[in-house]
Amino acid sequence: MAAAHADYTFRHDHLLGIEGLHPLDIKHVLDLSDTYADATRAGRRPDPILTGKTVVNLFFENSTRTLSSFEIAARRLGADVISMPVAQSSVKKGETLIDTAMTLNAMKPDALVIRHSASGGAKLLSRKVDCAVINAGDGTHEHPTQALLDLLTIRRTKGRIEGLKVVICGDIAHSRVARSTTMALHLMGARVHLCGPRTLIPPGTDTWGAESAGTDFDRALPGADVVMMLRLQLERMNGSLLPSQREYFRYFGLTADRLALAKDNAIVMHPGPMNRGVEIESSIADGERSVITQQVEMGVAVREAVLHLLAGGRA
Amino acid sequence: MSLQILNARLLDPATGSDAIGGVFIDKGVIKEFRTGTGVSFKDAKETIDAGGLCLAPGLIDLRAKTGEPGEEHKETLATASRAALSGGITSLVVMPDTRPVIDDVALVQFIAERGRETAFARVYPAGGLTVGLAGEAMSEIGLMAEAGAVLFTNGDWPVASAQVMKRVMTYAASRGAIVMSRPDDHTLAGSGVMNAGEFAARHGLSGIPIEAEWLGAARDVVLAEQTGCTLILDQVTSQRTLDIVDVARGRGAKVFTTVAAHSLFFNELDVGDYLTYCKVNPPFRSEKARKTLIRALQEGAIDAVVSAHDPQPPEEKRLPFGEASFGAAGLETVLPCLLTLVAEGELSLLEALAPVTIGPASILGLPQGRIAKGAPADLILFDAGKPWLCDRDHLLSRSKNSPFDGRRLQGRVLRTFVGGKTVFER
């Protein structure tokens, strides 16, 4: 499939994070993702540009949706796909991330998709292997393909990203999605406002590109084009970061009344998996302004585009 | 065997003297020294012409970890000594957090003996403050002191219980023993892996808040004041901690402070892309904090600069940042780090040398660390301005985990003497 700009090349060997990408890179990935999304919707199979290529999914953390999304994306492009459920395998026997990486590297894959519970895990891997590394989430650091699929979903729904007001609400401190998506939205000209309990808002969110980070969801919502809710890890209650689910929902849960504060055509997003009744009311999650399932759909398209760019061009 | 070193720039932080002169050494001690050009001594069997290079007391390091006994793959006393001497350190206090922990008389004797037998540097054992460093039962502080332990510490695991700490310090005070403690409220520092702040947040790494150091320091200095125990506050990283110490000193507490050399050189941004060699505890703090530590050194508010040498093999460091071990190899870079700060105009030579010579010597009551008649002839000859590139593969430490790897430094030791004998020459 032809890229949108003939004079542009995607110059990255890996996709480790949004940090380090240029707005043109993001635009390019989104444009290519669009063509993949359109093809799927039209019932066309894309060109099998990854035929003969091997993609290894190395998931050190359990994941259903991201892992299957990468698997489907790679298979649609004709790649041979191996998914290593490392959470249960040799790592338990004391093998380190680097040992596992070196072992796999010796088998000459074309791309390694990695999810790891440690921030910087993908970066570490990329220093030790010869193939493309795609970060599918590293600790509380980055989750770039999630950010890209969020942007694609927004762009397809709203027709643009620049100038939109996006409110992201929830556990900002522990969210790799918040980091990546905020940075990506900022790069593309959106205005991002973060919101959550004070204990879950880290310092320095302005360096990610956020315009504000506050604790009053109701005050953040007016004028919002996009409301993105983050998953609340229920363990946070034990760590004395939050009093209770009930209180959290009272101040930060997305209800119909709250959504009414945003623009009339505001869309609702969630990276999943959702805690219904904790961060989002079921009727909103399933309502007509929710684009949550579309996010999942766009996830495959974005991953096709990323695999295309990183594994497709290599001899 | 007598020796004279002539035509040297004699630097003695104890007296503040900095002048060309010569030293006469006999039977391992400094017999005589004189400043002025053309100085020489009768009866010297051997003469070294220093050619104007700096001659200073050998460094005294209050905090080095080795792996002996139990983890010799990390470092032995012999390899640590070799590394130390090449970095100008002639006396080092070794930490008790080994396997087993140095928490009884026999083990203190073992370290002292192994030091004498296998190391050319002077090795001083530090005793474990509590049995097994578990922070529960007091160890035999009096007996270990008799056996040669120069101070008592719980090392990297500061005693968590204030009650235990108070009792141990009360007892230590009655035996005249020195307690060294890293100020750290672990219930707050928790599972942090680097300095808490914007950089940690952006990189998704859990932070060690500076408040944990302040709270720990406040507890320890209050107990020092109440018990009369001499306390070394180990590896301070911020001005506010020094302020806390100042208040306690004003009330009569006997408190000394140390700073790790690497904390004078690096800040939190050096962690960069998850560089595990820069994972240390206490962590590298902000640039502002680093600057205030240097100012404190200028003002003489810091009693000792330590190597905080903590050798870690690749398997402990080639891990994701959060999972890697804390610790940096430091014996070979203390002096170059300080001399680089001198070259950059941040410190004078004497300001840089005082906290690694007379400073620690005074805390422990050691006769070395000065150029004085009758002092042990532990001396270093160095080129204060010599530029060099720190390459971990050329370090003598058995473990190569130096954050200085790849850094350009200025100032290098050319010859090290212990008891008048040349024990290292570059």
pLDDT digits (tens, 9 = 90+) for A44-73: 999 999 999 999 999 988 888 999 999 999
Active site residue A115: yes
Chain A contacts of B198, Cβ < 8 Å? 202-204, 207
Cα distance between residue B50 and residue B8, in whole Å: 5
Helical residues (DSSP H) of chain A, grouped into ranges? 23-41, 65-76, 97-106, 121-128, 144-158, 176-187, 217-220, 245-252, 256-259, 282-285, 292-307
Asked if residue A5 has pLDDT above 70, the reply is no
Give pLDDT, residue A259: 98
Count of all residues that appear for chain B in the document: 426
Nearest to A50 by CA among A36, A62, A67: A36
Active site residue A246: no
A312 to A76, B34, B67, B178, B307: CA distances (angstroms): 13, 76, 49, 65, 50
DSSP state of B68: T
Active site residue A93: yes
Q: Which of B203, B318, B323 lies nearest to residue A141, judging by beta carbons? A: B203
- Residue found by looking up tokens 């949550």 in the block: A292
Q: Which of B201, B315, B320 lies nearest to residue A120, judging by beta carbons? A: B320
Average pLDDT, chain B: 97
At residue A315 the predicted structure's pLDDT band, cuts being 50, 70 and 90, is very low
B17-26 and B2-12 beta bridge pairing? antiparallel
Kindly report the backbone phi and psi dihedral angles of residue A34, in degrees, each rounded to the nearest multiple of 5, phi listed first.
Answer: -55, -45
Give pLDDT, residue A89: 59
Query: Which amino acid is it at B80?
Result: A
Q: Judge contact between A292 and A272, C-beta under 8 A.
A: yes
Cα distance between residue A86 and residue B139, in whole Å: 44
Interface of B with A in 76-105 (CB under 8 A): none
- Residue A61 sits at the chain B interface (C-beta within 8 Å): no
Q: Say which of A11, A64, A92, A93 is annotated catalytic.
A: A93
Mean pLDDT of B387-416: 97
Give pLDDT, residue B395: 96
Give pLDDT, residue A186: 98
At residue A2 the predicted structure's pLDDT band, cuts being 50, 70 and 90, is very low
- Residue found by looking up tokens 């209770």 in the block: A244
Give pLDDT, residue A63: 87
Cα distance between residue A273 and residue B420, in whole Å: 71
Q: Judge contact between A13 and A21, C-beta under 8 A.
A: no
Give pLDDT, residue A8: 83
At residue A309 the predicted structure's pLDDT band, cuts being 50, 70 and 90, is very high
Helical residues (DSSP H) of A193-281, grouped into ranges? 217-220, 245-252, 256-259
Cα distance between residue A109 and residue A252, in whole Å: 44
Q: What digits encode the pLDDT tens for the residues A101-135?
A: 888 899 999 999 999 999 999 999 999 999 999 99
DSSP state of B425: E
At residue B66 the predicted structure's pLDDT band, cuts being 50, 70 and 90, is very high
Chain B contacts of A120, Cβ < 8 Å? 203-205, 273-274, 320-322
pLDDT above 90 covers what percent of chain A?
A: 84
Interface of B with A in 165-204 (CB under 8 A): 197-199, 201-204
Nearest to B308 by CA among B332, B337, B328, B338: B328
Mean pLDDT of A138-159: 98
Active site residue A143: yes
Give pLDDT, residue B309: 98
Q: What digits encode the pLDDT tens for the residues B129-157?
A: 999 999 999 999 999 999 999 999 999 99
> Structure tokens of A111?
């791309």
Q: What digits encode the pLDDT tens for the residues A216-258?
A: 999 999 999 999 999 998 877 778 899 999 999 999 999 999 9
Q: Which of B201, B320, B323 lies nearest to residue A202, judging by beta carbons? A: B201
B128 to A259, B138, B159: CA distances (angstroms): 60, 9, 11
Cα distance between residue A63 and residue B387, in whole Å: 51
Asked if residue B43 has pLDDT above 80, the reply is yes
Q: What secondary structure does DSSP assign to B201-254, as a single string? A: HHTT--EE-HHHHHHHHHHHHHHHHHH--EEEE-S---HHHHHHHHHHHHTT--
Mean pLDDT of A92-96: 63
Give pLDDT, residue B17: 96
B145 to A201, B103, B115, B363: CA distances (angstroms): 49, 11, 16, 15
- Residue found by looking up tokens 């930060």 in the block: A252
Q: Which of A97, A119, A173 lies nearest to residue B203, judging by beta carbons? A: A119
Chain A contacts of B197, Cβ < 8 Å? 203-204
> Structure tokens of B221?
């200095």
Backbone CA torsion sign across B227, B233, B234, B236 = positive
Kindly report the backbone phi and psi dihedral angles of residue B226, in degrees, each rounded to the nearest multiple of 5, phi listed first.
Answer: -70, -35
Give pLDDT, residue A94: 58
Chain A contacts of B203, Cβ < 8 Å? 119-120, 141
The CA distance from A116 to the nearest CA of chain B, in Å, is: 9
- Inter-chain residue contact B201 with A120, CB threshold 8 Å: no
Cα distance between residue A151 and residue B55, in whole Å: 65
Q: What digits encode the pLDDT tens for the residues A160-193?
A: 999 999 999 999 999 999 999 999 999 999 999 9
Asked if residue B232 has pLDDT above 60, the reply is yes
At residue A93 the predicted structure's pLDDT band, cuts being 50, 70 and 90, is low
At residue A4 the predicted structure's pLDDT band, cuts being 50, 70 and 90, is low
Q: Say which of A143, A186, A193, A270 is annotated catalytic.
A: A143
Backbone CA torsion sign across B330, B335, B338, B340 = negative
Supply the ipTM of this predicted assembly.
Answer: 0.90
DSSP state of A117: S
Q: What digits encode the pLDDT tens for the residues B278-335?
A: 999 999 999 999 999 999 999 999 999 999 999 999 999 999 999 999 999 999 999 9
Q: Give SS3 for B21.
A: strand
Nearest to B64 by CA among B337, B414, B332: B332
Query: Which amino acid is it at B400?
Result: K
The CA distance from A98 to the nearest CA of chain B, in Å, is: 7
Angle at A300 between CA A296 and CA A302, to 5 degrees: 105
Give pLDDT, residue A90: 54
